[in-house]
Chain A
Amino acid sequence: MNDSLEQKVNEIVDGLCLLEGALLPILHAVQAELGYVPSSAVPFLSRRLNLSRAEIHGVISFYHDFRTEPGGTHTVQICRAEACQSMGSRTLEAHAKLALGVDFGATTEDGLVTLEPVYCLGNCACAPSIRIDDHVHARVDSHRFDQLMSALDKTGDVK
């Protein structure tokens, strides 16, 4: 970890280390700040939190939310759960992979989108659902998906 990265992680740990069960809030904060949890942060967190590196690696790898490589500018999650299946999400999933040219867990070549599966966004009455960053979209068929993707820009959010 370079100095500026270490300083950022240090500040996060300073702010949160007194919480009970601080590791998850710290990892969420690191990912919110850096976009991912760099593997070089593990030995550092291990020293600061008095946990073994194996314990920290175990937590990072257990939860779907934490990524260890930088992601795209936007994260697009497609719901794979039953309510969305009943409304054609299997077709949407196949279309999304084809349209973006990536599989789940991968980032498009231009670095714009990381595609992920998700199991329920709580929008089950108006399926199929996808989430783009912190916004959920309802009744997304292949056509609507293409519209949403073409509205993505390199920095901001979708309209």
Chain B
Amino acid sequence: MTALRFFVPQDTTACALGADDTALAVVTTAEARGLDIDLIRNGTRGLFWLEPLLEVETEGEGRIAFGPVMEHDIPAILDALNADVTTHPLYLGPTEDIAYLKNQQRLTFSRAGLGDPLCLENYQALGGFVGLQRALKMTPQGIVDEVKGSGLRGRGGAAFPAGIKWQTVLNTPGEKKYIVCNADEGDSGTFADRVLMEADPYQLIEGMIIAGLAVGATRGYIYLRSEYPKAHEMLKHAIKNAQQAGYLGQSVAGSDRSFELQVRLGGGAYICGEETSLLDSLEGKRGMVRAKPPLPAIEGLFGKPTVVNNVLTLAAISTILEKGADYYQGFGLGRSRGTLAFQLAGNIKRGGLIELAFGTTLRDVVQEYGNGSYSGRPIRAIQVGGPLGAYLPEAQWDTPLDYESFAAQNAMVGHGGIVVFDDTVDMGAQARFAMEFCAEESCGKCTPCRIGSVRGVEVIDRVLADDNRDKNLIVLHDLCDTMEFGSLCAMGGMTPFPVRSALQYFPEDFAADRVVSTNRGEQTC
């Protein structure tokens, strides 16, 4: 009889919920019973409400799942495997048939959770490096044309067409060029970059090598936030394995092209997710925002032509080169092509990663996938696109999730983070926090952001204290205009979005007679 195979994820969230203890219990319980088993620490499937998710490979049904599985559940699950598993209360059926997963359109995350993230053979067996092999036979212009044809836009938030950026770097002469991956995923409510790096790191590495081939760059850096220690370990190992297997180094996959890759840690500064500030930080300086022009594509890292792309943008390149531009272009809506990894977070019953073609509505994602609030109370506001994104009331939840539709509502899809708040939220406090966060994280280079955010906190405090309320509201709107139109980058320029949306859609929370629910700010879990 062959050994029974068990899977328990090694992902940050799975481990934060006890996956290490679950994995240990699988091993010790099996040992005590004299069972011959294999335990694989896979990446997460992204179904965080079911973590720690235990999967078992069976002969009849393929992989079946149980979740959430704590260490004390293991003996009973092992018993059930010898009897009728379907009667076990944590039994979820075949993993691939779980509706949350089955209804997704997984391209970038198609491999996530299938196996050991660091197993190169596994990556190759699942289509890994097919795109790279194809790119090696193409001209640089041919690769750039393929990316342009896919309609891929930057997944970091700004949604700039990736192919156009690459064309600029290709067209700019230079002996030395760089590929920089922006892995400084600082937006609250987002974790898709982290999941990809922890579950399928070779896909990012492959995308970066292809980018290097396309624009003539021979060195790449992954700028990773220091808040992601597990992703850091994973990337370091993956890079080492890819070097040993000959995908990185002097001769990429036996060709005459070279590409070197390093991972660098940030220093806990949100602003370094802004591309020019990230470049200054990579150069060993304070992460100060640069004025544009010159574009990083022309004068980027150390003044050299540089591609700066988000983790998911670079990962999508592997799929585009593997399956072709038309395949990728076939997903999506209008000018938003392909898929976006939505991240359902905050006060939500079924939080997790949901990769879908553009065009679904917020209501569908939150209700059908999320299944309502975690607290069971009515949902009052949803913040989309991170701390610089608007707070949306129920009337806005039918807007299709694509870049243009959201921009038309003075909101943004950004990096796809969706943070749900129930009716205990105090929108006055949320607006104040937006300004407070900007004051804390501003790089300080431009006045509207550096000073405006500090004044913003003070003015909101006066409004909430009913001190000259009407006049202070005028000052607040004026301040928001100054920040929006006068700031150097999106940090100061978009901090007004959450503030204005809170004022516009939830005016009662700023009213003179505002009633802050006794539940507000109270523990909901």
Chain A residues proximal to chain B, CB less than 8 Å: 19-25, 27-28, 55, 58-59, 62-66, 81-88, 90-92, 118-129, 131, 134-139, 141-142
**Which of B265, B284, B287, B352 is most buried by chain A, counting CB atoms within 10 A of its CB?**
B284
Cross-chain contact B265 with A83 (CB below 8 angstroms): no
Contact of B168 with A by CB under 8 A: no
Q: Which of B136-144, B181-189, B199-207 contacts A (4 or more CB under 8 A)?
A: B181-189
Known contacts A87-B347, A121-B227, A125-B348; A62/B287 CB under 8 A:
yes
Contact of B283 with A by CB under 8 A: yes
**A141 contact set on B, CB distance < 8 A:** 523, 525
Q: Which residue of chain A is the closest to B51 with respect to CB atoms? A: A126
Q: How far is the CA of A152 from the CA of B17 in the complex (A)?
A: 18
| Bitwise interface map of B from 358 to 395 toward A, beta carbon under 8 Å scored 1, else 0 | 00000000000000001000000001000100000000
Cross-chain contact B284 with A122 (CB below 8 angstroms): no
**B466 contact set on A, CB distance < 8 A:** none
Q: Which residue of chain A is the closest to B219 with respect to CB atoms? A: A20
A134 CB, nearest partner CB in chain B, Å: 4
Contact partner of A127 among B49, B345, B430, CB < 8 A?
B345
Q: How far is the CA of A90 from the CA of B426 in the complex (A)?
A: 12
Cross-chain contact B13 with A86 (CB below 8 angstroms): no
B349 CB, nearest partner CB in chain A, Å: 10
B359 CB, nearest partner CB in chain A, Å: 23
Q: How far is the CA of A119 from the CA of B49 in the complex (A)?
A: 22
Contact partner of B265 among A28, A64, A120, A142, CB < 8 A?
A28
Q: How far is the CA of A67 from the CA of B522 in the complex (A)?
A: 32
Q: How far is the CA of A136 from the CA of B13 in the complex (A)?
A: 8
Known contacts A59-B285, A81-B387, A82-B387; A124/B525 CB under 8 A:
no
Q: Which residue of chain B is the closest to A90 with respect to CB atoms? A: B521
Contact partner of A66 among B267, B283, B437, CB < 8 A?
B267
**B269 contact set on A, CB distance < 8 A:** 62-64
**A87 contact set on B, CB distance < 8 A:** 346-347, 374, 524-525
**B187 contact set on A, CB distance < 8 A:** 120
Known contacts A24-B284, A123-B12; A82/B525 CB under 8 A:
no
Cross-chain contact A24 with B264 (CB below 8 angstroms): yes
A129 CB, nearest partner CB in chain B, Å: 7
Cross-chain contact A125 with B523 (CB below 8 angstroms): no
Cross-chain contact A124 with B15 (CB below 8 angstroms): no
**B286 contact set on A, CB distance < 8 A:** 58-59, 62
Cross-chain contact A63 with B267 (CB below 8 angstroms): yes
| Bitwise interface map of B from 424 to 441 toward A, beta carbon under 8 Å scored 1, else 0 | 010001100100010011
Q: Which residue of chain A is the closest to B13 with respect to CB atoms? A: A123
Cross-chain contact A127 with B346 (CB below 8 angstroms): yes
